[in-house]
Amino acid sequence: MAEENQDPKLVPIPPTFHASDTGKPFDHCLMCNQYLLDEGTPYMIEKAVKQHPEMNVVETIFEYAMCMFCAIRMHESLSVESRERISAYFQSNVNFEKRHFDLLGQTDDIANWIGKCAVKRTPISESSEYQLVAQCEGKNLVFSAMPFALSLAAMEEMSSLLSAQSLGEIDDFIGKYFSGPPEVAALLKKKFVMV
């Protein structure tokens, strides 16, 4: 039991969670523009990835870093019904405490944490799209309940749990912070899940 009370393990943020356009760590919050790389600054990174195995190409659909204050504010903008459904979904499908305990000794290889969907336990390499989620602190990745990956199947199940109000909040968020052709916006709206 003593191990459960230890501080989470911190390692330098691996390239998997760097910005795809620069290859460097995210340095500012998407919403409030707070600088994130100061020691002790907590934040989240989310990435959605699409795989094209026929062309041997992996593309980032969207990615961002968000300070913990903005992440909580965004989460709270979702309807109570949606938050309760998503929470119940995770509680029914993932034992994060056991997962953390099982993986904590494997922090030297990020693939051990994100190689399989946290919900479906299927290899991410077999999913045409997937989402990656990490918690960071300054220049370090925090190993706790995160990092984890969600397969397309899990993302679709989670999307179906969102209320009309929550879908509207997500539409507004996408419209404000992500630009691009209409087909990209349509794709984001179908697959975007605030974790």
pTM equals 0.86
Identify the residue whose tokens are 């922090």: 107
Please give the Cα distance from 60 to 16 (Å, whole number): 11
Give the pLDDT of residue 81: 94
Give the pLDDT of residue 58: 83
* DSSP codes of every residue in 68-123: HHHHHHHHHHS-HHHHHHHHHHHHHH--HHHHHHHHGGGTT-THHHHSBBTTT--B
Please give the Cα distance from 183 to 59 (Å, whole number): 15
Q: Which of 9-18, 57-66, 156-165 has the highest mean pLDDT?
A: 9-18
Confidence of residue 182 (pLDDT cuts 50, 70, 90): low
Give the pLDDT of residue 179: 66
Token representation of residue 168: 């509207």
Say which residue, 187 or 72, is predicted with more confidence.
72
- pLDDT at 175 > cutoff 50: yes
- The answer to whether the CB of 150 falls within 8 A of the CB of 118 is yes
